[in-house]
Structure 1
Amino acid sequence: MIFSLLGCQKSNEKRFSQEKFLFGTYIQMIIYSDNEKQANEIMKKAFSEIERIDNKFNSKNKNSIIYSLNESDKKIVKIDSEGKYIFDEVRKMYEVTEKVYDITVGPLLDLWGFGKEERKNVPSELEIKEVLKNIDFSKVEIIDDNLIVNGKETIDTGSFLKGYALEKAKEILINNGVKNGFISSVSSIVTIGEKIDGSPWKIGLQDPNNQEKRLGVVEIKNKSMGVSGDYQTYIEIDGKRYHHIMNKFTGYPIADKKMVAVICDSGFMADIYSTSFFGMKDNKILEFCEKNNVDVFIVKSDNSIIKTKNFNLK
């Protein structure tokens, strides 16, 4: 796990938790309540919201509209206001990053062996060149109530949808009276308020060079965190690791960063930012964070650290 909750709570309310396997990973939910039955019902509602989003939009889920879009010949599906909001936000980061953040990168991930078939050798330049022809988010557009792909491109929701789902689940908890709690997955975490005793949530951040160790502890209140790292998902070819965060222009894994951790108000945006920043230039990242009230902590490939002034690692 990327995150570990540190410390204990002191309150008359009891701690209740549930865990469910969604989005290809275990998602853990913890809230505090003086009513066990009510607490479990609330968490069940929140997990149902995560499952709804998984079934509706996850590109790996055969029930979703995005899976249908990717598999169809016409490359067009109906989309509602929720879908429009999601893909409008994705487009904003595509433009902010000058096309670096691109959710049509799926064929490149498949080529490298992050899809169904395992890769035993590094893709050839010719293979990469052919795949790059079909990576271009500019060919994805929304017209009226339709999501359209004007080419052979496919959409991969892996870089943002889980964060969006956790954020929506957080809204369910809050709307049902939860004042203190958190939801976490492998690379995303959202918090509600603070700990019962008024202190911040303490989140352990993994060392990208040794996942058995922590770089330190981050304290957050009512914030969200997203982490992207070269150690999270990778393959090994001839003893060398190749991670899944790709440079869409070269066709190879991005080489200058090991980890990007982002803190902001939204779990949805934290997921988008952590992936986007992996491919952006350092000065552009810091400039964006300063303008948008976002904090970031970056471990470079040479183990040097770049961070915003308010990202405090203890």
Structure 2
Amino acid sequence: MSKYLKPYNIFLFIVIITFQIEAQNIYKRTLKLMGSRFDITVIAKDSTEANTHIDTAIDEISRIERLISSWDINSQTSEINRKAGIQPVKVDRELFDLIKRSLAISKLTDGAFDISYASMDRIWKFDGSMTKMPSEADIADSVRKVGFQNIVLDDVNSTVFLKLKDMKIGFGAIGKGYAADKAKSMLIDQGVASGIINASGDMTTWGKQTNGDEWKVAITNPLNKNKAFALLPITDGAVVTSGDYEKYVNFNGKRYTHIIDPRTGYPSTGIISVTVFAPKAELADALSTSVFVMGKDVGLNRINQLPHIECIIIDEDGNIFTSTNIKINKI
């Protein structure tokens, strides 16, 4: 009899584990946070547990918004902007470190990413009201106060100082990714085994689906946004797509996107979609915009030098270019 005991116990163990996995379900909630659409998906045993976890993620994202929002007059970011050219502002270490990482990305991308873009005068309009190009003088003047080199950090005192009067910082190109990362981290700490945070295209995942398959992300075809041209698996990582297929203008036969180079004041040209895969949504968020600004050749070269980062670029003619270690199976 003993020779059947071990196999029986092993079989029983497998049945129990299988039952536990199959008992999990996918729960999703969609809402507006940070001025954008957020889709929060978790795997849980029932709706009560799922809603508790989703509420936790919402609270964390809302906390991040209160910290980094330049629209909230009570935020530390707004205080930094108010004291531009006047005096340094002491901030929470979390905000200080986010700004510090942002400056590192600015250096990495030669200023293609720059949180001081918020200082830019909004002379380009992508709502259909523009009838002609802004003048060269107006474009040059629009970026007069932009420049990450004018953001001074004091590591010891945790202060931030903007050198120029009326200079501003903003986290529009990194904030949603950061919030998604923080919500994901909190849910993992609370024992949520699997899920997705999708912050208007800034997507971060962990774990697997209930059937054991990896989560998959659809890459939108920018020439037909209702269709995807590829479906790629993603596990414990982030993917962010920046596209210009909805906001752009045409002047003199040339297409200008709403993604503007903070160094020159001119919109980016030549690319219509950039998708970046990275371990963190914060980094993928910042790099997707940066590659757009840097252009195909410089952008791919820079991505290929970074470990664990991959990229897909689609140019204005619909041609697809990828970083070295990514393979696309079209659908």
TM-score by length of 2: 0.83
How far is the alpha carbon of 1:303 from its aligned partner? 2.3
1:225, 1:270 within 8 Å by CA — same for their partners in 2?
yes
Q: SS where residue 54 of structure 1 aligns? A: helix
Q: 1:104 to 1:75 in 2, by over 3 A?
A: farther
CA distance in 2, matches of 1:62, 1:243: 30
Note the C-alpha offset of 1:45. 0.8
2:37 is the alignment partner of 1:26: yes
Partner of 2:222: 208
Match of 2:163 in 1: 150
- 1:49 aligned residue: 60
User: Once the 2 structures are TM-superposed, how far is the Cα of residue 233 of structure 1 from its aligned partner?
Assistant: 4.2
TM-superposed CA distance for 1:235, in Å, is 6.0
The offset of 1:139, in angstroms, is: 0.3
Could you tell me how far 1:306 is from its partner in structure 2?
1.6
Report 1 or 2 for greater relative contact order, CA contacts < 8 Å, sequence distance ≥ 6: 1
Report the counterpart of residue 126 of structure 1 in structure 2: 137
User: Equivalent pairs: percent with the same residue?
Assistant: 27
Distance 1:63 1:313 in 2: 46
Cα deviation, residue 204, structure 1:
1.2
2: CA distance, partners of 1:109 / 1:46? 34
CA deviation digits over 1:187-240, x for unaligned, max 9? 210101121222111111111122122122121111110111112544688998
> For residues 69 and 161 of structure 1, do their structure 2 counterparts lie closer, same or farther at Cα, with a shift above 3 Å needed?
same
Partner of 1:291 in structure 2? Answer: 306
**Separation in structure 2 between the aligned mates of residue 64 and residue 232 of structure 1, nearest angstrom:** 31
C-alpha distance in 1 between matches for 2:268 and 2:83: 31
For the pair 1:311 / 2:326, whether they are aligned, the reply is yes
Post-superposition shift, 1:92? Answer: 1.0
Q: 1:240 to 1:58 in 2, by over 3 A?
A: farther
TM-score of the superposition, structure 1-length normalised? Answer: 0.88
Between 1:127-136 and 1:70-79, the stretch displaced more is 70-79
CA drift of 1:167 comes to 0.3
CA distance in 2, matches of 1:34, 1:207: 35
List alignment gaps of at least 5 residues for structure 2: 1-20
Please report how far the alpha carbon of residue 148 of structure 1 lies from its aligned counterpart in structure 2 after TM superposition: 0.6
Q: How many matched pairs?
A: 304
Choose the corresponding residue for 2:317, options 299, 302, 307.
Answer: 302
Partner SS state of residue 38, structure 1 = helix
Contact 2:303 2:323 in 1 (8 A): no
Let me know the Cα RMSD of the aligned residues. 2.6
Return the alpha-carbon distance in structure 2 between the equivalents of residues 166 and 113 of structure 1: 29
Residue 102 of structure 1 corresponds to 114
SS of the residue 1:47 aligns to: helix
Indicate the SS of the match to 1:106. helix
CA distance in 2, matches of 1:109, 1:216: 37
Contact map agreement 1:109 1:244 (CA 8 A) in 2: no
CA contact (8 A) 1:93 1:276 kept: no
